[in-house]
Structure 1
Amino acid sequence: MIEISYLQMFIFITFIWILVRFIIAIRFKKFSVKRELQMLLVYICIVVIARFVYFPLHFVDGEIGTLTIGFSKTLSDMISLIPFFFLFDRYDGWLINIIGNIAMFIPVGIVWPICFRKLDSIKKTVFAGICFIIFIELSQLLCTERHTDIDDVILNTSGVLIGACILFAIRKSRNDVS
């Protein structure tokens, strides 16, 4: 078992982010402050989502609890594939869970199409978002205290969809005015 603090994960994500952005700048032989500020929004989405997805919501001894990587359960105890089967029974704060899972991904639906030109429709944005969400859910299989749940995929995807609808409605209204 390996324990990772949020600070360690934050540093790791930041290091990888800087490295990738540096490689991209070298490969394309250009650097744009405006583009990097846009991409900073993607970075913030990733760091915030990592905080809430991988680490306990409640503080442990006044700090964010650690993430434990390893296997301590059977696969069937780690995965829930029946939609909304556990949603109301497992959580005392099920309403907060629903709202949080949706709200956490609304920025992805707004920010990603701004930063990635190929995400030029709601459909493409939701598809990219669901790929990211599935990556997150599958990566939780490596975490002893986390649970891979179809409810999270549904709720998170709803958040991406809401965010994308907001952004594309704003874009459409701007185009209609011009």
Structure 2
Amino acid sequence: MIEISYMQMFIFITLIWILVRFVIAIKFKKFSIKHELQMLLVYICLVVIARFVYFPLHYVDGEIGTLKIDFSKTPSDMISLTPFYFLFDRYDGWLINIIGNIAMFIPVGIVWPICFSKLDNIKKTVFAGICFIVFIELSQLLCPERHTDIDDVILNTSGVLIGACIVFALRKSCKDVS
């Protein structure tokens, strides 16, 4: 079993982010402060989502608990493919779970179409969001303390959709005003 602290994951994500941004700047031979500040919003989305998706919400000895990865566990008991089975009244905090899963991904629906010009409509933005969400849910199969749940995919996708609707409605209203 491997244990990773949030700080270790934060440093890893940050180093990979800096390396990727540096390689892209060299490859395309251009650097824009405005674009990098926009991309910083994507980075913030990734770091915040990683915090809440992979690490326990409750502090352990005053610190964020560790992420445990175990390649020897069978993930079958960590998967829920029945929609809405665990969603309502199954445990304390179910309402916070619903609101949190939606709210956590609203920024993805807002930030990604601003930063990635190819996400030029709601469908493309939601599709990109679903791909990201499915990656997250599948990666949780390696984490015995995490749970891969279709409800998370539905709620997270709802968040991306809400964010995308906001950004594209604002874009439309700005075009209508001009």
> Is 2:48 the counterpart of 1:48?
yes
Whole-angstrom distance in 1 between the partners of 2:73 and 2:89? 20
TM-score by length of 2: 0.98
Paired amino acid for 1:24: I
Structure-1 residue corresponding to 2:23: 23
TM-score by length of 1: 0.98
> Is 2:116 the counterpart of 1:143?
no
Is the CA contact (8 Å cut-off) linking 2:81 and 2:149 kept in structure 1?
yes
Deviation of the 1:87 alpha carbon: 1.7
> Is 2:143 the counterpart of 1:175?
no
Please list the CA deviations of residues 126-151 of structure 1 after superposition, one character each: whole Å capped at 9, or x if unmatched: 00000000000000001110000000
Q: Secondary structure, in 3 states, of the residue corresponding to 1:152?
A: helix
Please list the CA deviations of residues 83-141 of structure 1 after superposition, one character each: whole Å capped at 9, or x if unmatched: 01112254310000000000000000000000000000000000000000000000000
Paired amino acid for 2:43: Y
Whole-angstrom distance in 2 between the partners of 1:74 and 1:87? 23
Whole-angstrom distance in 1 between the partners of 2:146 and 2:50? 12
Gaps of 5+ in 2: none
Paired amino acid for 2:106: I
Whole-angstrom distance in 2 between the partners of 1:113 and 1:148? 27
Whole-angstrom distance in 1 between the partners of 2:33 and 2:51? 27
Whole-angstrom distance in 2 between the partners of 1:89 and 1:77? 20
Paired amino acid for 1:105: F
Structure-2 residue corresponding to 1:107: 107
Is the CA contact (8 Å cut-off) linking 1:54 and 1:146 kept in structure 2?
yes
Is the CA contact (8 Å cut-off) linking 2:10 and 2:47 kept in structure 1?
yes
Aligned residues: 178
Is the CA contact (8 Å cut-off) linking 1:72 and 1:144 kept in structure 2?
no
Structure-2 residue corresponding to 1:9: 9
Q: Secondary structure, in 3 states, of the residue corresponding to 1:85?
A: coil
Structure-2 residue corresponding to 1:118: 118
Structure-2 residue corresponding to 1:59: 59
